Amino acid sequence: MRLRPVLLVAFLTFAAALPFSAQAASVADFYKGSTLHVIVGYEPGGGFDAYGRLLADYLPRYLPGAPKALVENMPGAATLKAASYIYNIAAQDGTVIGIPNHAVPLNAFVWQEVGNGVDVTKLQWIGRLAAIDVTCVAWHTTGVKGIEGAKKQSLVLAATSPTGTSVMMPTAMNRLIGTKFKVVQGYKGTTEEYLAMEKGETQGMANAIWSQLRRSHPQWIAQHKLVPLYQDAYKRMPGLETVPTAAELAANEDDRKVLRLLGSTAEVGRSFYVGPKVPAERVAALRRAFTQMVQDPAFQKEAERLKIDLDPMAGEELQKMIGELGLYPASLLERTRQLVASDSK
Protein backbone atom coordinates (compact mmCIF):
# COMPACT_ATOMS: atom_id res chain seq x y z
CA MET A 1 0.00 0.00 0.00
CA ARG A 2 1.35 3.42 -0.96
CA LEU A 3 0.80 6.35 1.39
CA ARG A 4 -0.38 9.66 0.02
CA PRO A 5 2.33 12.35 0.13
CA VAL A 6 0.81 14.13 3.12
CA LEU A 7 0.46 10.90 5.06
CA LEU A 8 3.93 9.81 4.00
CA VAL A 9 5.44 13.00 5.36
CA ALA A 10 3.51 12.59 8.60
CA PHE A 11 4.62 8.97 8.88
CA LEU A 12 8.27 9.78 8.26
CA THR A 13 8.13 12.61 10.77
CA PHE A 14 6.59 10.30 13.35
CA ALA A 15 9.06 7.52 12.60
CA ALA A 16 12.02 9.88 12.83
CA ALA A 17 10.80 11.13 16.17
CA LEU A 18 10.51 7.67 17.70
CA PRO A 19 14.21 7.09 18.45
CA PHE A 20 14.59 10.58 19.90
CA SER A 21 11.44 10.17 22.03
CA ALA A 22 12.65 6.79 23.27
CA GLN A 23 16.08 8.19 24.02
CA ALA A 24 14.60 11.23 25.76
CA ALA A 25 12.44 8.96 27.94
CA SER A 26 15.46 6.78 28.70
CA VAL A 27 17.56 9.82 29.61
CA ALA A 28 14.78 11.19 31.82
CA ASP A 29 14.41 7.84 33.57
CA PHE A 30 18.15 7.72 34.22
CA TYR A 31 18.54 11.26 35.54
CA LYS A 32 15.39 11.24 37.67
CA GLY A 33 16.60 10.96 41.24
CA SER A 34 20.26 11.08 40.19
CA THR A 35 22.93 13.55 41.27
CA LEU A 36 25.33 15.33 38.95
CA HIS A 37 28.84 15.66 40.35
CA VAL A 38 30.64 18.75 39.02
CA ILE A 39 34.34 18.21 39.70
CA VAL A 40 36.39 21.39 40.12
CA GLY A 41 40.14 20.81 40.14
CA TYR A 42 40.87 23.73 42.49
CA GLU A 43 40.05 24.80 46.03
CA PRO A 44 36.71 26.59 46.57
CA GLY A 45 36.54 30.33 45.96
CA GLY A 46 38.37 30.84 42.68
CA GLY A 47 37.20 31.55 39.15
CA PHE A 48 36.93 27.92 38.08
CA ASP A 49 34.93 27.17 41.22
CA ALA A 50 32.54 30.06 40.45
CA TYR A 51 31.85 28.75 36.95
CA GLY A 52 31.43 25.20 38.24
CA ARG A 53 28.91 26.28 40.85
CA LEU A 54 26.95 28.35 38.34
CA LEU A 55 26.70 25.31 36.05
CA ALA A 56 25.71 23.04 38.92
CA ASP A 57 22.96 25.45 39.93
CA TYR A 58 21.39 25.81 36.49
CA LEU A 59 22.19 22.83 34.22
CA PRO A 60 19.89 20.33 36.02
CA ARG A 61 16.92 22.60 35.30
CA TYR A 62 17.23 21.83 31.59
CA LEU A 63 18.00 18.11 31.78
CA PRO A 64 15.26 15.48 31.42
CA GLY A 65 14.59 14.03 34.85
CA ALA A 66 15.75 17.19 36.67
CA PRO A 67 18.61 15.66 38.68
CA LYS A 68 20.23 17.31 41.65
CA ALA A 69 23.79 18.63 41.39
CA LEU A 70 26.74 18.74 43.75
CA VAL A 71 30.08 20.54 43.36
CA GLU A 72 33.12 18.60 44.50
CA ASN A 73 36.56 20.23 44.73
CA MET A 74 39.47 17.96 43.80
CA PRO A 75 42.58 20.17 43.71
CA GLY A 76 45.82 18.87 42.32
CA ALA A 77 48.25 19.41 39.44
CA ALA A 78 46.27 22.25 37.83
CA THR A 79 43.15 20.05 37.37
CA LEU A 80 45.11 17.05 36.01
CA LYS A 81 44.22 15.02 39.10
CA ALA A 82 40.53 15.62 38.41
CA ALA A 83 40.95 14.84 34.70
CA SER A 84 42.59 11.51 35.49
CA TYR A 85 39.81 10.68 37.96
CA ILE A 86 37.04 11.46 35.46
CA TYR A 87 38.78 9.59 32.64
CA ASN A 88 39.85 6.47 34.54
CA ILE A 89 37.88 6.05 37.77
CA ALA A 90 34.59 7.98 37.85
CA ALA A 91 31.32 6.52 36.61
CA GLN A 92 31.03 6.81 32.83
CA ASP A 93 27.31 7.41 32.96
CA GLY A 94 26.87 11.16 32.47
CA THR A 95 26.70 12.10 36.14
CA VAL A 96 30.32 13.30 36.47
CA ILE A 97 31.30 16.58 34.79
CA GLY A 98 34.71 18.25 34.87
CA ILE A 99 35.99 21.78 34.28
CA PRO A 100 39.67 21.73 33.27
CA ASN A 101 42.34 24.33 33.50
CA HIS A 102 42.27 26.01 30.09
CA ALA A 103 45.84 24.87 29.35
CA VAL A 104 45.14 21.15 29.81
CA PRO A 105 44.55 20.37 26.10
CA LEU A 106 47.56 22.45 25.03
CA ASN A 107 49.90 20.79 27.50
CA ALA A 108 48.52 17.38 26.58
CA PHE A 109 49.58 17.96 22.97
CA VAL A 110 52.85 19.85 23.53
CA TRP A 111 54.24 18.23 26.68
CA GLN A 112 52.10 15.05 26.92
CA GLU A 113 51.51 16.29 30.46
CA VAL A 114 48.09 14.82 31.30
CA GLY A 115 49.34 11.24 31.67
CA ASN A 116 47.51 8.26 33.14
CA GLY A 117 46.16 7.36 29.73
CA VAL A 118 44.03 10.51 29.41
CA ASP A 119 43.36 11.48 25.78
CA VAL A 120 41.79 14.94 25.74
CA THR A 121 40.38 14.33 22.24
CA LYS A 122 38.34 11.43 23.66
CA LEU A 123 36.90 13.44 26.50
CA GLN A 124 33.35 14.39 25.47
CA TRP A 125 33.04 18.16 25.64
CA ILE A 126 29.69 19.55 26.80
CA GLY A 127 30.25 23.24 26.15
CA ARG A 128 32.14 26.37 27.06
CA LEU A 129 30.73 29.13 29.25
CA ALA A 130 33.44 31.68 28.48
CA ALA A 131 36.63 32.24 26.57
CA ILE A 132 39.47 33.92 28.43
CA ASP A 133 40.68 37.25 27.11
CA VAL A 134 44.36 36.60 27.86
CA THR A 135 46.47 39.61 26.90
CA CYS A 136 50.15 40.53 26.99
CA VAL A 137 50.43 43.98 28.54
CA ALA A 138 53.21 46.48 29.22
CA TRP A 139 53.14 48.92 32.15
CA HIS A 140 52.70 52.52 31.03
CA THR A 141 56.06 53.74 32.41
CA THR A 142 57.98 51.63 29.86
CA GLY A 143 57.03 53.98 27.03
CA VAL A 144 56.10 51.02 24.82
CA LYS A 145 53.00 51.86 22.77
CA GLY A 146 52.41 48.57 20.96
CA ILE A 147 53.92 45.32 19.74
CA GLU A 148 56.47 47.10 17.52
CA GLY A 149 57.88 48.79 20.60
CA ALA A 150 58.43 45.38 22.19
CA LYS A 151 60.74 44.55 19.27
CA LYS A 152 62.90 47.60 19.96
CA GLN A 153 63.40 47.43 23.70
CA SER A 154 63.59 44.71 26.33
CA LEU A 155 60.56 44.21 28.56
CA VAL A 156 60.70 42.21 31.80
CA LEU A 157 57.55 40.07 32.05
CA ALA A 158 56.30 38.32 35.19
CA ALA A 159 55.44 34.66 34.57
CA THR A 160 54.53 31.44 36.36
CA SER A 161 56.13 28.18 35.18
CA PRO A 162 57.65 26.68 32.01
CA THR A 163 54.41 24.98 30.92
CA GLY A 164 52.29 28.08 31.52
CA THR A 165 51.34 30.28 28.58
CA SER A 166 52.78 33.23 30.53
CA VAL A 167 56.14 31.65 29.68
CA MET A 168 55.45 29.76 26.47
CA MET A 169 53.74 32.47 24.44
CA PRO A 170 56.24 35.34 24.95
CA THR A 171 59.13 32.87 24.48
CA ALA A 172 57.65 31.80 21.14
CA MET A 173 57.00 35.44 20.18
CA ASN A 174 60.67 36.27 20.79
CA ARG A 175 61.72 33.51 18.42
CA LEU A 176 59.03 33.99 15.77
CA ILE A 177 58.49 37.76 15.47
CA GLY A 178 61.53 39.26 17.17
CA THR A 179 60.17 40.68 20.41
CA LYS A 180 62.61 41.23 23.29
CA PHE A 181 60.67 39.89 26.24
CA LYS A 182 62.68 38.84 29.29
CA VAL A 183 60.53 36.29 31.07
CA VAL A 184 60.94 36.02 34.84
CA GLN A 185 59.35 32.86 36.24
CA GLY A 186 58.25 31.92 39.74
CA TYR A 187 55.11 34.00 40.32
CA LYS A 188 52.17 32.00 41.67
CA GLY A 189 49.48 33.59 39.54
CA THR A 190 48.00 36.75 38.13
CA THR A 191 47.48 38.40 41.53
CA GLU A 192 51.20 38.29 42.28
CA GLU A 193 52.03 39.32 38.72
CA TYR A 194 49.74 42.37 38.87
CA LEU A 195 51.38 43.45 42.12
CA ALA A 196 54.91 42.97 40.74
CA MET A 197 54.04 45.10 37.74
CA GLU A 198 52.51 47.86 39.88
CA LYS A 199 55.55 47.93 42.21
CA GLY A 200 57.97 48.22 39.30
CA GLU A 201 59.46 44.80 39.96
CA THR A 202 58.51 43.85 36.39
CA GLN A 203 57.40 45.80 33.32
CA GLY A 204 54.47 43.72 32.18
CA MET A 205 52.97 40.23 31.94
CA ALA A 206 51.85 37.90 29.18
CA ASN A 207 48.81 36.39 30.89
CA ALA A 208 46.78 39.40 32.00
CA ILE A 209 43.05 38.60 31.87
CA TRP A 210 41.40 41.74 30.54
CA SER A 211 37.88 41.05 31.80
CA GLN A 212 39.30 40.29 35.25
CA LEU A 213 41.22 43.58 35.19
CA ARG A 214 38.04 45.46 34.31
CA ARG A 215 36.62 44.23 37.61
CA SER A 216 39.70 44.20 39.87
CA HIS A 217 41.69 47.19 38.54
CA PRO A 218 39.33 49.37 36.51
CA GLN A 219 41.41 52.45 37.29
CA TRP A 220 44.39 50.95 35.44
CA ILE A 221 42.32 50.73 32.28
CA ALA A 222 40.63 54.10 32.75
CA GLN A 223 43.98 55.80 33.35
CA HIS A 224 45.72 53.95 30.51
CA LYS A 225 48.28 52.37 32.82
CA LEU A 226 48.24 49.18 30.77
CA VAL A 227 49.32 48.93 27.13
CA PRO A 228 47.91 45.76 25.47
CA LEU A 229 50.44 44.29 23.03
CA TYR A 230 48.76 41.13 21.71
CA GLN A 231 46.02 38.65 22.57
CA ASP A 232 46.28 34.85 22.85
CA ALA A 233 42.81 34.16 21.42
CA TYR A 234 41.79 33.10 17.90
CA LYS A 235 39.84 36.32 17.40
CA ARG A 236 40.01 39.80 18.86
CA MET A 237 38.00 40.00 22.04
CA PRO A 238 35.40 42.67 22.91
CA GLY A 239 37.09 45.77 24.25
CA LEU A 240 40.36 44.80 22.57
CA GLU A 241 39.34 45.24 18.94
CA THR A 242 42.48 47.25 18.08
CA VAL A 243 44.87 44.73 19.64
CA PRO A 244 46.14 41.98 17.28
CA THR A 245 46.05 38.32 18.15
CA ALA A 246 49.41 36.56 18.31
CA ALA A 247 48.53 34.49 15.25
CA GLU A 248 47.90 37.66 13.22
CA LEU A 249 51.53 38.61 13.76
CA ALA A 250 52.95 35.37 12.33
CA ALA A 251 55.14 35.59 9.24
CA ASN A 252 53.87 32.37 7.63
CA GLU A 253 51.29 29.60 7.98
CA ASP A 254 53.53 27.24 9.99
CA ASP A 255 54.25 29.96 12.53
CA ARG A 256 50.56 30.81 12.62
CA LYS A 257 49.70 27.20 13.49
CA VAL A 258 52.15 27.27 16.39
CA LEU A 259 50.63 30.48 17.73
CA ARG A 260 47.09 29.18 17.26
CA LEU A 261 48.01 26.07 19.23
CA LEU A 262 49.34 28.26 22.04
CA GLY A 263 46.28 30.50 21.77
CA SER A 264 43.94 27.53 22.19
CA THR A 265 44.10 28.06 25.94
CA ALA A 266 42.05 31.24 25.59
CA GLU A 267 39.53 29.43 23.39
CA VAL A 268 39.13 26.46 25.77
CA GLY A 269 38.46 28.95 28.56
CA ARG A 270 35.88 27.78 31.09
CA SER A 271 34.72 24.54 29.49
CA PHE A 272 33.10 21.34 30.70
CA TYR A 273 33.50 17.70 29.75
CA VAL A 274 32.46 14.16 30.66
CA GLY A 275 34.33 10.88 30.36
CA PRO A 276 35.04 9.08 27.06
CA LYS A 277 32.56 6.23 27.57
CA VAL A 278 29.45 8.18 28.55
CA PRO A 279 26.56 6.98 26.30
CA ALA A 280 25.94 9.16 23.26
CA GLU A 281 22.31 9.91 24.14
CA ARG A 282 23.32 11.32 27.53
CA VAL A 283 26.11 13.40 26.01
CA ALA A 284 23.55 14.77 23.53
CA ALA A 285 21.12 15.53 26.37
CA LEU A 286 23.83 17.33 28.37
CA ARG A 287 24.77 19.39 25.31
CA ARG A 288 21.14 20.31 24.62
CA ALA A 289 20.66 21.28 28.25
CA PHE A 290 23.84 23.37 28.15
CA THR A 291 22.64 25.23 25.05
CA GLN A 292 19.21 25.89 26.56
CA MET A 293 20.84 27.08 29.77
CA VAL A 294 23.13 29.67 28.18
CA GLN A 295 20.25 30.99 26.08
CA ASP A 296 17.99 31.51 29.09
CA PRO A 297 17.75 35.20 30.13
CA ALA A 298 17.43 34.13 33.77
CA PHE A 299 20.77 32.34 33.58
CA GLN A 300 22.38 35.30 31.84
CA LYS A 301 21.02 37.66 34.49
CA GLU A 302 22.41 35.50 37.28
CA ALA A 303 25.84 35.39 35.61
CA GLU A 304 25.77 39.18 35.35
CA ARG A 305 24.81 39.50 39.01
CA LEU A 306 27.74 37.30 39.96
CA LYS A 307 30.04 39.24 37.61
CA ILE A 308 30.75 36.07 35.64
CA ASP A 309 31.56 36.70 31.99
CA LEU A 310 29.87 34.59 29.33
CA ASP A 311 31.05 33.75 25.82
CA PRO A 312 29.46 30.35 25.17
CA MET A 313 30.56 27.72 22.66
CA ALA A 314 28.47 24.62 21.88
CA GLY A 315 29.89 21.26 22.84
CA GLU A 316 30.00 20.02 19.25
CA GLU A 317 32.06 23.03 18.16
CA LEU A 318 34.40 22.69 21.13
CA GLN A 319 34.86 18.98 20.41
CA LYS A 320 35.76 19.78 16.82
CA MET A 321 38.27 22.45 17.81
CA ILE A 322 40.10 20.20 20.28
CA GLY A 323 39.98 17.32 17.82
CA GLU A 324 41.63 19.47 15.16
CA LEU A 325 44.45 20.32 17.56
CA GLY A 326 44.94 16.60 18.07
CA LEU A 327 45.56 16.22 14.34
CA TYR A 328 48.63 18.46 14.39
CA PRO A 329 51.57 16.44 12.99
CA ALA A 330 54.34 15.33 15.31
CA SER A 331 56.79 17.58 13.48
CA LEU A 332 54.75 20.69 14.27
CA LEU A 333 54.36 19.70 17.92
CA GLU A 334 58.10 19.15 18.16
CA ARG A 335 58.74 22.54 16.60
CA THR A 336 56.35 24.08 19.12
CA ARG A 337 58.21 22.40 21.99
CA GLN A 338 61.48 23.84 20.75
CA LEU A 339 60.03 27.32 20.28
CA VAL A 340 58.45 27.54 23.71
CA ALA A 341 61.15 25.81 25.73
CA SER A 342 62.51 28.32 28.20
CA ASP A 343 66.10 28.31 29.44
CA SER A 344 64.94 26.82 32.74
CA LYS A 345 62.87 24.02 31.19
**3-state SS string for the chain:** CCCCHHHHHHHHHHHHHHHHHHHHHHHHHHHCCCEEEEEECCCCCCHHHHHHHHHHHHHHHHCCCCCEEEEEECCCHHHHHHHHHHHHCCCCCCCEEEECCCCHHHHHHHCCCCCCCCCCCCCEEEEEEECCCEEEEEEHHHCCCCCCHHHCCCEEEECCCCCCHHHHHHHHHHHHHCCCEEEECCCCCHHHHHHHHHHCCCCEEEEEEHHHHHHHCHHHHHCCCEEEEEECCCCCCCCCCCCCECHHHCCCHHHHHHHHHHHHHHHHCEEEEECCCCCHHHHHHHHHHHHHHHHCHHHHHHHHHCCCCCCCEEHHHHHHHHHHHCCCCHHHHHHHHHHHCCCCC
Looking at residue 6, what is its pLDDT?
Answer: 40
The band of 220, judged by pLDDT with boundaries at 50, 70 and 90, is very high
As a whole number, mean pLDDT of residues 166-178 equals 95
**pLDDT score at 23:** 62
Residue 326 has pLDDT above 50, yes or no: yes
Burial class (CB in 10 A: 0-12, 13-18, 19+), 1: exposed
17, pLDDT greater than 50: no
Judge residue 248's burial from the number of C-beta atoms within 10 Å of its C-beta, 0-12 exposed, 13-18 middle, 19 or more buried.
Answer: middle
189 pLDDT more than 90: no
**pLDDT surpassing 90 at residue 219:** yes
- What pLDDT score does 10 carry? 41
- 272-312, pLDDT tens digit by residue? 999 999 999 999 999 999 999 999 999 999 999 998 999 99
User: What residues pair up with 96 in beta bridges, in sequence order?
Assistant: 37
Q: Is the per-residue pLDDT at 24 higher than 90?
A: no
Same fold, 5-131+269-333 and 134-264: yes
Q: Has residue 8 got a pLDDT over 70?
A: no
Sorted by where each begins, the domain ranges of the chain are 5-131+269-333, 134-264
Band of residue 79 on the pLDDT scale cut at 50, 70, 90 = confident
CATH of the domain spanning 134-264, picked from 3.40.50.300, 1.20.1180.10, 3.10.270.10, 3.40.190.10: 3.40.190.10
CATH architecture of the domain with range 5-131+269-333: 3-Layer(aba) Sandwich (3.40)
- Rounded to an integer, the average pLDDT of 131-146 is 95
Output the pTM of the full model.
Answer: 0.82
